[in-house]
């Protein structure tokens, strides 16, 4: 940006047209740009794909000086700078992947005013050399991208982000714009407080993504369910499949490839070159499927991702929203599909138990998981539930799975009592605890080796659950876990009662459940494991 440029709207529009090649601003962009160009602070909450980048890029070009962008997306800085350079914008970055010579070059250009935008890794903020550098240059604004990383309540906390509070103390006259796609009330408040943005204007966009169809199905045979989805609804289309572990990423990618789908793995266990190649192939080629851990995706800007599939339960609604938000940035119909089952709940509860950090931290993680489970088990419109979570009102969308085929509810109090009293008896009478599979075997009255070994056929609840099928019991147990009426503990995910269980056993509490859809018929198509 040069000092002689005007600071009015027409200048911003001219940059939008001539530099970025767009006709008009979208949503709140114009107001945000005007506010920041005028020197105001802003906190921008806008969903993924909403167009946050222009909100700081254009003011950086219009205002005198260099726009400094703090971003945790180090792996993407080179791409971002290349893209801007291709548009004729003078951009550079400073992070740990550079040689000293490369850094010196960028710093010289920065001080000389030969840059419009400088991307900076957050860990550089706490370095005294960075402060000295800032003192020697004219700074147009500070943009704080992925601002939710400052929030401990959020799902992606970065300790280096706490140093961001010094920006305002040391350079009080430089406007700041903080941006995030995470918008729960708690995160919003924490960003404003930690970054001292109380005086800033807050711009909160709608989080509705009307072109995304949300679907959450019971997990039976996840890889086959996924293959079905890809073959029947998204043949030859680009998409992202999220798995929790590196091992399941590898296995799922191999399975898809063996079944004729062009799939690539992506996770932190792969070497840097493979990761970079797979990411850039996904961005540049048509119709590739990336199977990935959540390490993949922050800042991925590919407009025609037609589906995002989750084979494991995300840890929070924020995470789910961000991940699914990578679908359909071009506004075309897209699918957010997830398979979710009993093991997911047990596994996530277990991960929280084992997590480091204090009691308060574990309570936060638990609250995040509970909200995610409520979204999975809801009988209401998924979109309404999702937007309510972000504090926004909506009408039933008519497009998600629960709108299209409203799930029946049923009174599951008696089956719940059967499960809970089995767990209670094992604990009281035998001082034992077992996992879900064994509890179900007891209820179904199965004579397995483990049952005879422990003499569990003499329990009074043995065989009292023959009215439900195995997978129906799995649904009951999953919902009891989701509702906090049952919990898992120990190394082997054994089941235990909670304080709330007593109310059900004492008949003071009714347990409503979501009816499991019939298991989908197995397709005749050939497939390889
Ligand atoms: P976010 O950072 O909010 O996820 P981006 O800034 O990456 O979103 O923008 C998403 C996509 O929308 C990009 O491809 C961008 O070029 C495009 N875009 C943003 N603003 C506009 C606009 N006013 N007109 C047309 N396209 C836009």
Predicted local distance difference test score (pLDDT) of residue 277: 94
Q: Whose CA is nearest to atom 26 of ligand 1?
A: 22
Q: Does the beta carbon of 52 lie inside 6 Å of ligand 1?
A: yes
- Residue 457 DSSP symbol: G
Q: Which atom of ligand 1 is nearest to the CA of 301?
A: 7
Give 303 Cα–ligand 1 centroid separation in angstroms.
9
Asked if 52 contacts 25 with a C-beta cutoff of 8 angstroms, the reply is no
Q: Is the CB of 412 under 6 A from ligand 1?
A: no
Q: What is the pLDDT of residue 176?
A: 96
Quote the pLDDT of residue 353: 84
Higher pLDDT, 118 or 5: 118
Rounded CA-CA distance 421/442 in Å is 12
Q: Is 54 in the pocket of ligand 1 (CB under 6 A)?
A: yes
CB 423 within 8 A of CB 476: no
Q: Please indicate whether residue 26, judged by its CB atom, sits closer than 6 Å to ligand 1.
A: yes
- For 119, the token pair is 């991307």
Contact 495, 435 (CB under 8 A): yes
How much is the pLDDT for 74?
Answer: 81
Evaluate whether 230 touches 256 at the Cβ level (below 8 Å): yes
User: How many Å lie between the centroid of ligand 1 and the Cα of residue 54?
Assistant: 7
Pocket lining: 33 vs ligand 1, CB cutoff 6 Å: no
Please, which pLDDT band fits residue 4 given cuts at 50, 70 and 90?
Answer: very low
Q: Is 29 in the pocket of ligand 1 (CB under 6 A)?
A: yes
User: Are 142 and 175 a contacting pair, CB within 8 Å?
Assistant: yes
Sequence-distant (≥ 6) Cβ neighbours of residue 93 within 8 angstroms: 77, 78, 80, 81, 106, 118, 119, 120, 121
Query: 50 CB under 6 A from ligand 1?
Result: yes
- pLDDT digit string, tens, across residues 41-78: 999 999 877 899 999 999 999 999 999 999 988 877 88
297 or 174, which is more confident: 174
Q: Cα angle vertex 454, ends 449, 455, to 5°?
A: 95
321's enclosing H/E stretch is helix 317-324
The alpha carbon of 250 is separated from its chain's Cα centroid by a whole number of angstroms, namely 20
The pair phi, psi for residue 264, each rounded to 5°, is -125, 140
At residue 177, does pLDDT exceed 50?
yes
Closest Cα to atom 15, ligand 1: which residue? 51
pLDDT category at 259 given cuts 50, 70, 90 is very high
DSSP alpha helix (H) spans, 205-305: 222-233, 246-258, 272-284
DSSP collapsed to 3 states, 98-150: CCHHHHHHHHHHHHCCCCCEEEECHHHHHCHHHHHHHHHCCEEEEEECCHHHH
Per-residue model confidence as pLDDT tens digits over 379-409: 889 999 999 888 788 899 999 999 999 998 9
Q: Which of 482, 470, 219, 465 is nearest to 372 (CA)?
A: 482
Residue 67 in contact with residue 44, Cβ under 8 Å?
A: no
- Atom index in ligand 1 nearest the CA of residue 181 equals 3
The whole-angstrom separation of Cα 383 and Cα 372 is: 13
Q: Is 25 in the pocket of ligand 1 (CB under 6 A)?
A: yes
Q: Over 90: is that where the pLDDT of 102 sits?
A: yes
Q: CB of 106 within 8 A of CB of 92?
A: yes
The mean pLDDT value of the chain amounts to: 90
From CA 56, how far away is CA 228, in angstroms rounded?
A: 42
pLDDT bracket for residue 299 (50, 70, 90)? low
Pocket residue to mutate for ligand 1, from 51, 73, 322, most atoms within 8 A of Cβ: 51
Ligand 1 atom 19: the closest Cα is on which residue?
51
Say what the pLDDT of residue 363 is: 82
Q: What is the DSSP string of 437-452?
A: HHHHHHHHT---HHHH
20 touches ligand 1 (CB under 6 Å): no
Is the beta carbon of 461 within 6 A of some atom in ligand 1? no
* Of residues 4, 21, 131, 76, the one with CA closest to residue 301: 76
> pLDDT of 115-147, one tens digit each?
999 999 998 988 899 999 999 999 999 999 999
Helices (H), 359-469: 359-377, 382-389, 401-404, 413-430, 436-444, 449-454
Q: Specify the pLDDT at position 5.
A: 44
Mean pLDDT lowest among 24-28, 226-230, 258-262: 24-28
Given the CA of residue 26, which atom of ligand 1 is nearest to it? 23
Residue 284: pLDDT band by 50, 70, 90 thresholds?
very high
φ, ψ (nearest 5 deg) of residue 429: -85, -30
* Complex ipTM: 0.98
Burial (CB < 10 A; 0-12, 13-18, 19+), residue 446, is middle
Enter the pTM of the model: 0.77
- Report whether 375 contacts 382 (CB < 8 A): yes
Angle 97-100-105 (CA atoms, 0-180°, nearest 5)? 100
Instruction: Let me know: does 64 contact 5? Beta carbons within 8 Å.
Output: yes
Which residue's CA is the closest to the ligand 1 atom numbered 20? 51
In the chain, what is the straight-line distance between the N-terminal and C-terminal CA atoms, in Å?
57
Q: Whose CA is nearest to atom 13 of ligand 1?
A: 51
Alpha helices in 446-506 (DSSP H): 449-454, 470-482, 501-505
3-class secondary structure for 57-87?
HHHHHHCCCEEEEECCCHHHHHHHHHHHHHC
Ligand 1 pocket mutation pick from 14, 34, 53, 303 by most atoms within 8 angstroms of CB: 53
**How far, in Å, from the CA of 26 to the mean position of ligand 1?**
8
- The rounded Å distance from CA 330 to ligand 1 centre is 10
Q: Whose CA is nearest to atom 24 of ligand 1?
A: 22
Instruction: Please work out, in degrees rounded to the nearest 5, the angle formed at the alpha carbon of residue 142 by the alpha carbons of 136 and 147.
Output: 140
């Amino acid at each position: 940006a040069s000092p002689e440029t005007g600071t009015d709207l027409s200048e911003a529009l001219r940059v939008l047209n001539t530099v970025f090649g767009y006709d008009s601003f979208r949503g709140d962009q114009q107001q945000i740009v005007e506010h920041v160009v005028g020197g105001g602070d802003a906190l921008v909450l806008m969903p993924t794909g909403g167009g946050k980048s222009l909100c700081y890029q254009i003011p950086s070009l219009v205002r005198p000086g260099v726009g400094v962008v703090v971003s945790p997306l180090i792996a993407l800085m080179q791409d971002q700078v290349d893209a801007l350079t291709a548009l004729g914008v003078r951009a550079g970055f400073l992070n740990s992947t550079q040689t000293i010579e490369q850094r010196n070059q960028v710093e010289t250009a920065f001080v000389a005013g030969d840059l419009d935008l400088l991307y900076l890794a957050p860990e550089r903020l706490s370095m005294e050399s960075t402060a000295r550098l800032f003192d020697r240059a004219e700074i147009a604004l500070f943009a704080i991208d992925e601002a939710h990383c400052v929030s401990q309540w959020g799902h992606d906390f970065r300790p280096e982000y706490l140093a961001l509070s010094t920006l305002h103390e040391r350079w009080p006259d430089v406007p700041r714009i903080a941006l995030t796609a995470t918008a729960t009330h708690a995160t919003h408040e924490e960003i404003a407080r930690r970054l001292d943005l109380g005086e800033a204007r807050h711009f909160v966009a709608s989080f509705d993504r009307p072109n995304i169809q949300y679907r959450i199905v019971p997990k039976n045979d996840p890889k086959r369910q996924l293959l079905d989805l890809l073959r029947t609804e998204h043949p030859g289309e680009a998409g992202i499949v999220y798995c929790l572990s590196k091992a399941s990423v590898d296995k799922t990618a191999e399975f898809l490839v063996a079944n004729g789908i062009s799939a690539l793995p992506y996770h932190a266990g792969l070497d840097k070159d493979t990761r970079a190649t797979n990411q850039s192939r996904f961005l540049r080629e048509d119709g590739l499927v990336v199977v990935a851990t959540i390490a993949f995706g922050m800042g991925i800007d590919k407009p025609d991702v037609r589906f995002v599939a989750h084979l494991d339960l995300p840890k929070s609604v924020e995470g789910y929203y961000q991940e699914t938000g990578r679908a359909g940035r071009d506004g075309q119909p897209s699918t957010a599909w997830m398979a979710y089952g009993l093991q997911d709940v047990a596994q996530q509860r277990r991960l929280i138990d084992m997590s480091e950090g204090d009691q308060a931290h574990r309570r936060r993680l638990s609250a995040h998981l509970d909200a995610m489970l409520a979204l999975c088990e809801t009988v209401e419109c998924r979109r309404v539930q999702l937007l309510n979570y972000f504090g926004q009102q909506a009408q039933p969308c008519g497009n998600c799975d629960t709108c299209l085929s409203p799930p029946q509810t049923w009174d599951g109090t008696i089956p719940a009592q059967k499960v809970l009293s089995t767990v209670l008896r094992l604990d009281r009478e035998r001082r034992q605890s077992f996992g879900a599979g064994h509890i179900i075997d007891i209820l179904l009255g199965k004579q397995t080796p483990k049952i005879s070994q422990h003499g569990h056929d003499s329990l009074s609840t043995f065989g009292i659950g023959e009215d439900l099928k195995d997978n129906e019991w799995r649904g009951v147990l999953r919902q009891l876990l989701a509702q906090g009426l049952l919990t898992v503990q120990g190394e082997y995910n054994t089941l235990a009662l909670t304080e709330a269980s007593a109310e059900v056993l004492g008949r003071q509490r009714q347990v409503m459940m979501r009816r499991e859809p019939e298991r989908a018929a197995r397709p005749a198509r050939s497939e390889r494991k």
